[in-house]
Amino acid sequence: MEQNVFDGLHDIPTRTELCATTMYYQAVSVPYMRKIRGANASEDHVLRLGPLRARLITHLDKLIAEPDLLVGPAVSYETAVLMVAGKPWDHVLAVQKYAPDLPHLKGLTLDLLMGARVAWKRFSGECSDEGDIAAATEDQMDRAQMEKTNDRCDHVSRHSGCSVKRQKSA
């Protein structure tokens, strides 16, 4: 097994995939999750995440239009990440170290960004300005309370059999 891992890490296509995924993770996934689950998360209702998701799609558009912001020679935390939250990214130096030897990194990263954009548009459609959720009143949203993630007690459930059951509203 160790040999397979070693071989994979020295395989240019595998290394390219790892680097592209790492950059997406650092620029999009981590800032998004910090915003919705972090210590300073301000919204606790999935139906109110429309503006954040719109911002994410706009950010993906920016990176698709200019992939060098993410995988170019002068990558900057301030221009590449979804939201600058005072925490610099982690694994970028490793990606920058390998990037010159990965001729398809930009193309693969661009494919990943475009695929992610399609998925986020589909995932966020109801929250768009034209979607049903945008037309809902505050009272309707309050009555349709939904957690912003689907793992409310995931950390507990593995150890105690916790399950969250919906309660019927009066």
pLDDT digits (tens, 9 = 90+) for 57-79: 999 999 999 999 999 888 887 78
The answer to whether residue 109 sits within a structural domain is yes
Token pair for residue 12?
């240019």
Global pTM reads 0.75
The answer to whether residue 143 sits within a structural domain is yes
Contact (CB, 8 A) for 23 and 93: no
Dist. CA 94–CA 19, nearest whole Å: 8
The answer to whether residue 166 sits within a structural domain is no
The answer to whether residue 97 sits within a structural domain is yes
- The boundaries of the domain holding residue 137 are 2-160
Query: Residues 111-124: pLDDT tens digits?
Result: 999 999 999 988 77
The answer to whether residue 169 sits within a structural domain is no
> What letter would DSSP give residue 25?
I
The answer to whether residue 91 sits within a structural domain is yes
How large is the C-alpha radius of gyration of the chain?
19
The pLDDT assigned to 112 comes to 97
**Domains contained in the chain, number:** 1
Measured distance between the N- and C-terminal CA atoms of the chain, rounded to whole angstroms: 57
